[in-house]
C-alpha cells in the first residue's frame, strides 16, 4: 500500500470515528440542511402561487445539492485549516505529511466521498417530501457522477484559494461565508437567459456549467451526446480551477512558512 | 557514526517577522545571527526569556518556519533526520479521538508500518502510564495525560531528532517528573537527540547535559550544565550561628565581606560570607573558633541554573526578554 493510500485510510478512519462518536452533530447537520431546503421550497411555492413547475423544482433540488458540495469543499479546504490552527494540530500535520497540499486533496476526496452519501440521502428525502422526482435513469448515472465529480473538483480549487488565505491570515470566516453565499447564488443562476456574451463568460464561474449540465441530464430526453461540448469545457474549467487553486495554495503555504504564520492563530 | 557526533549545526541563522499588512506591528527580529552546535545522543536545552527566539529556532529546525538567512545542517545523519515534535503541548492532538486513534492517525501520516505502530503504541502507552486510557477520547484525559500523549505521538516511528517546546509547562510536579524521567531514559536507551526549550530552569538542570542560553535572538552562552555552574560558582559561604553571639562577633569581621540574611529561625542568624577564594575560609574559621561559636551550619553556596540564567540574561526566566 502506498504512502498516500495509507494517509487516505488514516483520514477516513479519523473522519468516520469522529462522525460516529458524535452522531447528534452529524444528524443535526443533515436536519438543518433539510429544514433549510424546505424553507426554500416553501418560499418558491409561495412566490409561484402554490404551483412549482417540474423544471424549477429540478433546478431547486440540483442547485441545493450542489451548493451542499460547495460548502463541504470549502470547509475541507479552508475552514478545517482554521480550526486545525486553532486546535494546534496543523503544525503536526504539516510536519509529518509528505506534502500538505497533497494531504488536503486526499482529505477532500475522503470527505466529499463521505459527503456524497449524505447528499444522496438528503436528495432522496427532499424528493420524497416534495413529491418532485428528478428524472434520473440508470444509463445516465455515470455521466451524472462525472459532472458532479468535475464540479466538486472545481469547487475544491476555489476552496484551496481560500485555504491559502486561511494559512496566511487565519480568521477568514467572514470571507468564506461571502463566498458560500456567492456560490449559492451561482448554483441557481441560469446564465443562458442573459444577453450578449455574458453566458459564455459567466459559465466559466464555479458551479454554473456543472449545474446547467446536471439540469440538462436530469431532464427527460437529456443526453450526453448533446452536451459533449459543455462536458469538455467543464473538464477544462475544472483543470484550470484545480491548477490555479493548487498553485495559489502552494504559494500561500510558502509565504506562511516565511512569515511564521503556519500555526499562529 | 560516533555517539557524540554533531547532530545539528546552525550557522548565522536569522529570522525577522515582517508586517503582513501595512497597519500591523513593526518588524520583529526574532533570531539574529544564531550559531549553535548540538551534539548527537543527548538532551540539549534551549533556554531564554520570553521573546528570546527559542520557539522560532525550534520551528526553523522543524522546517515549519523558513529562515531569512543562515544554514541548518544535520551532519550526524548527512540528510534531514526523521523528526518528532511537541510544539503546542497538549494541543498537538485531536481531542475528539482517543489515544489509540491519535496514534493510528499520526502514525499512518508519518508512514510508520502498521505492525511497528501497534507494537510502539502498546509499548509507549504502557511506558507513559496511559495504557488504560487508550480508548477514551483525549478531551476526557487530564492535562498531564494529554501532554504525555503528545510526547508519545512525537516518539512514533523512532525519530532521530526530537524537538520539544515546553514539554512540561503547566504540569503538576508528579507528571512533570514522570516526563523528565522518561525523556532521560529514552534518550539514553535509544541514543536519541532531544532539543528542549523551557522556562523551567529546574527541568533544564535535571535533564539537559548541555544548554544554550538565548538572549535577543542569539546565543549568549552555550556549554555543558556542569561547566556553566562551575563558571558561576562563587566562594560564598552560608554560616548559621546562634543569634546571641552575633553582636560580639560582628566587631571582629572587619576584613570580611558579608551580609546578614533575613531571619529564618528564631535564635539563629544566617550570614553569607563572600570570601573571594577558597583560602579565605581559614581566617574565617579562625575568627569563629576564637569565639567558640557553635556552628549550626557552614556550607558553600551552590549556584543553580537559574542563577546562571539571571546573570547571563539579566532577567527572570519568564521575564520580558525583548
What is the reported pLDDT for A22? Answer: 87
| Binary contact (B64, A89; C-beta < 8 A) | no
Q: Give the residue on A whose Cα is nearest the Cα of B96.
A: A18
Q: How many CA atoms lie within 13 A of A219 on its CB side?
A: 16
Instruction: Provide, rounded to the nearest whole percent, the portion of chain B with pLDDT above 70.
Output: 94
Q: Does domain B6-230 have CATH number 3.40.50.970?
A: no
Sign of the CA dihedral B194, B199, B200, B201? positive
Q: What is the mean pLDDT of residues A91-120?
A: 92
Average pLDDT over residues B214-240: 83
Q: Please indicate whether, in this complex, the C-beta atoms of B96 and A18 are within 8 angstroms of each other.
A: yes
Nearest Cα neighbor of A34 from A121, A114, A117, A112 is A121
B142-155 average pLDDT score: 91
Pick the closest to residue A183 from A206, A217, A213, A150 (CA basis). A206
From residue A41, alpha-carbon distances to A125, A214, A235, B25 in Å are 13, 19, 31, 50
CB contact under 8 A, B106 and A91: no
Q: Would you state the pLDDT for residue B3? A: 46
Please tell me the predicted confidence (pLDDT) of residue B101: 96
CB-based contact A108:A249 (threshold 8 Å): no
Band (B54; pLDDT cuts 50, 70, 90): very high
Which residues in chain B are closer than 8 Å to A13, comparing Cβ atoms?
Answer: 101, 104-105
Q: For residue A34, count CB atoms less than 10 angstroms from its CB and return exposed for 0-12, middle for 13-18, buried for 19 or more.
A: middle
Give the chain B residue nearest A99 (alpha carbons): B109
Whether residue B24 is predicted with pLDDT greater than 70 in this model: the reply is no
Q: What is the pLDDT averaged over residues B55-73? A: 94
Q: Does domain B235-300 have CATH number 1.10.357.10?
A: no
Q: Is B19 on the interface with A (CB under 8 A)?
A: no
Output the pLDDT for position B319: 43
- For residue A222, is pLDDT > 50? yes
With 90 as the cut, is the pLDDT of residue B141 above it?
Answer: yes
Instruction: Give the model confidence (pLDDT) of A194-218 as tens digits.
Output: 888 888 889 999 999 999 999 888 8
Asked if the domains at B6-230 and B235-300 fall in one CATH topology, the answer is no
Closest by Cα among A63, A47, A36 to A189: A63
Average pLDDT score over chain A: 89
Split at pLDDT 50, 70, 90, the class of B320 is very low
Across residues B161-169, what is the average pLDDT?
Answer: 90
- Looking at chain B, list the stretches that DSSP marks H as alpha helix, in order from N- to C-terminal side: 54-62, 99-110, 114-127, 143-155, 173-190, 201-207, 225-231, 246-250, 281-290, 305-313
Instruction: Output phi, psi for B167, to 5 deg.
Output: -70, -15
Check if B173 contacts A (Cβ < 8 Å).
Answer: no
ipTM (interface pTM): 0.89
Task: Indicate the pLDDT class of residue A252, thresholds 50, 70 and 90.
Answer: very high
Selecting from A17, A88, A169 the residue whose C-beta is nearest the C-beta of B101 gives A17
Determine the pLDDT at residue A264: 66
3-state DSSP helix/strand/coil percent for chain B, to nearest 5?
35, 25, 35
C-alpha cell at B183: 525523556
Residues in A touching B97 (Cβ below 8 Å): 14, 17-18
Distance from CA of B9 to the nearest CA of A (A): 20
pLDDT tens readout for residues B289-309: 888 777 777 777 777 778 778
- Chain B CB contacts of A18 under 8 Å are 94, 96-97
Q: According to the model, what pLDDT value does residue B299 have?
A: 76
Residue A254 confidence (pLDDT): 94
Residue in chain B closest to A256 (alpha carbons) equals B65
Sort out which chain B residues have CB atoms less than 8 A from A88's CB and list them.
88-89, 91-92
Burial letters for B169-197: b for 16+ Cβ neighbours within 10 Å, e otherwise?
Answer: bebeeebbebbbebbbebbeeeebbbbbb
Q: Where are the domains of chain B?
A: 6-230, 235-300
Q: How confident is the model at residue B281 (pLDDT cuts 50, 70, 90)?
A: confident
pLDDT tier, A66 (very low <50, low <70, confident <90, very high otherwise): very high
pLDDT at A27: 86
Q: Which of A10, A97, A259 is opposite residue B104, by nearest beta carbon?
A: A10
Number of A/B CB contacts below 8 angstroms equals: 87
Whole-angstrom Cα distance, residue B189 to residue B172?
26
Average pLDDT over residues A123-145: 88
Average pLDDT, chain B: 86
pLDDT score recorded for residue B25: 67
- Look at residue A200 in the predicted model and tell me its pLDDT: 85
* pLDDT at res. A87: 86
Average pLDDT over residues B133-137: 94
A134 in helix, strand or coil? Answer: coil
Which among B17, B95, B105 has the least Cβ separation from residue A14? B105
Checking if the pLDDT of A53 tops 80, the result is no
Give the model confidence (pLDDT) of A149-184 as tens digits: 999 999 999 999 999 999 988 888 889 899 999 999
CB contacts under 8 A, B 110-149 vs A, are 110-111, 137
**B-proximal residues of A, 68-87, CB under 8 Å:** 87
Distance CA B65, CA B58 (A): 9
Q: How confident is the model at residue B317 (pLDDT cuts 50, 70, 90)?
A: low
CB-based contact (8 Å) between A3 and chain B?
yes
Global confidence as pTM: 0.84
Spell out which residues of chain A touch residue B108, defining contact as CB-CB under 8 Å. 6-7, 9-10
pLDDT band at B1 (very low <50, low <70, confident <90, very high): very low
Assess whether pLDDT exceeds 50 at residue B259: yes
- Residue predicted with more confidence, B269 or B140: B140
* pLDDT beyond 90 at A100: yes
How distant, in Å, are the alpha carbons of A29, B13, B164, B201, B271 from that of B218?
51, 9, 19, 19, 38
Amino acid at each position: 500500500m502506498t504512502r498516500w493510500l495509507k494517509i487516505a485510510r488514516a483520514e477516513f478512519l479519523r473522519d468516520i470515528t469522529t462522525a460516529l462518536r458524535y452522531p447528534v452533530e452529524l444528524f443535526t447537520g443533515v436536519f438543518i440542511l433539510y429544514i433549510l431546503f424546505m424553507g426554500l421550497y416553501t418560499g418558491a411555492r409561495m412566490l409561484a402561487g402554490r404551483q412549482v413547475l417540474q423544471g424549477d423544482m429540478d433546478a431547486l433540488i440540483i442547485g441545493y445539492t450542489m451548493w451542499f458540495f460547495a460548502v463541504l469543499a470549502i470547509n475541507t479546504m479552508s475552514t478545517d485549516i482554521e480550526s486545525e490552527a486553532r486546535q494546534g494540530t496543523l503544525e503536526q500535520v504539516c510536519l509529518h505529511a509528505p506534502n500538505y497540499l497533497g494531504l488536503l486533496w486526499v482529505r477532500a476526496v475522503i470527505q466529499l466521498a463521505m459527503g456524497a452519501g449524505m447528499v444522496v440521502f438528503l436528495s432522496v428525502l427532499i424528493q420524497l417530501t416534495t413529491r418532485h422526482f428528478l428524472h434520473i435513469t440508470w444509463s445516465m448515472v455515470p455521466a451524472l457522477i462525472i459532472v458532479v465529480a468535475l464540479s466538486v473538483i472545481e469547487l475544491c480549487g476555489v476552496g484551496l484559494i481560500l485555504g491559502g488565505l486561511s494559512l496566511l491570515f487565519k480568521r477568514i470566516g467572514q470571507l468564506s461565508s461571502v463566498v458560500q453565499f456567492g456560490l449559492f447564488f451561482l448554483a441557481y443562476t441560469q446564465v443562458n437567459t442573459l444577453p450578449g456574451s455574458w453566458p459564455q463568460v459567466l459559465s466559466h464561474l464555479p458551479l454554473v456549467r456543472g449545474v446547467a449540465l446536471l439540469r440538462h441530464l436530469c431532464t427527460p430526453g437529456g443526453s450526453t451526446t448533446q452536451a459533449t461540448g459543455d462536458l469538455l469545457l467543464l473538464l477544462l474549467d475544472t483543470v484550470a480551477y484545480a491548477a490555479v487553486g493548487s498553485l495559489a495554495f502552494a504559494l500561500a503555504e510558502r509565504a506562511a512558512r516565511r512569515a511564521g504564520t503556519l500555526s499562529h492563530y | 557514526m560516533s555517539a557524540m557526533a554533531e547532530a545539528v549545526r546552525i550557522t548565522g541563522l536569522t529570522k525577522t517577522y515582517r508586517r503582513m499588512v501595512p497597519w500591523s506591528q513593526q518588524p520583529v527580529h526574532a533570531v539574529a545571527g544564531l550559531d549553535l552546535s548540538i551534539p548527537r545522543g543527548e538532551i540539549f536545552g534551549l533556554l531564554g526569556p520570553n521573546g528570546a527566539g527559542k520557539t522560532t529556532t525550534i520551528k526553523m529546525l522543524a522546517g515549519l518556519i523558513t529562515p531569512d538567512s543562515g544554514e541548518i545542517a544535520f551532519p550526524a545523519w548527512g540528510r534531514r533526520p526523521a523528526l518528532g515534535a511537541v510544539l503546542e503541548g497538549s494541543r498537538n492532538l485531536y481531542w475528539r479521538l482517543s489515544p489509540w486513534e491519535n496514534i493510528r492517525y499520526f502514525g499512518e501520516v508519518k508512514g510508520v508500518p502498521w505492525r511497528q505502530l501497534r507494537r510502539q503504541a502498546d509499548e509507549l502507552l504502557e511506558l507513559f502510564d496511559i495504557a488504560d486510557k487508550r480508548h477514551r477520547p483525549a478531551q476526557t484525559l487530564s492535562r498531564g495525560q494529554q501532554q504525555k500523549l503528545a510526547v508519545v505521538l512525537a516518539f512514533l516511528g523512532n525519530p532521530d531528532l526530537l524537538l520539544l517546546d515546553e514539554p512540561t509547562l503547566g504540569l503538576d510536579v508528579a507528571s512533570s517528573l514522570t516526563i523528565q524521567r522518561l525523556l532521560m531514559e529514552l534518550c539514553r536507551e535509544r541514543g536519541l537527540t532531544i532539543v528542549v526549550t523551557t522556562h523551567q530552569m529546574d527541568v533544564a538542570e535535571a535533564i539537559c547535559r548541555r544548554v544554550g542560553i538565548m538572549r535577543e535572538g542569539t546565543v549568549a552562552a552555550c556549554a555543558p550544565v556542569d561547566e556553566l555552574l562551575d563558571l558561576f560558582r562563587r566562594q560564598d559561604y552560608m554560616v548559621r550561628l546562634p543569634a546571641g553571639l552575633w553582636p560580639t562577633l560582628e566587631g571582629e569581621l572587619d576584613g570580611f565581606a558579608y551580609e546578614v540574611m533575613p531571619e529564618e529561625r528564631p535564635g539563629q542568624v544566617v550570614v553569607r560570607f563572600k570570601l573571594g577564594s577558597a583560602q579565605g575560609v581559614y581566617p574565617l574559621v579562625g575568627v569563629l573558633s576564637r569565639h567558640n561559636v557553635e556552628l549550626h551550619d557552614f556550607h558553600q553556596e551552590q549556584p543553580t541554573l537559574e542563577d546562571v540564567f539571571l546573570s547571563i540574561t539579566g532577567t527572570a526566566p519568564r521575564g520580558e526578554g525583548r
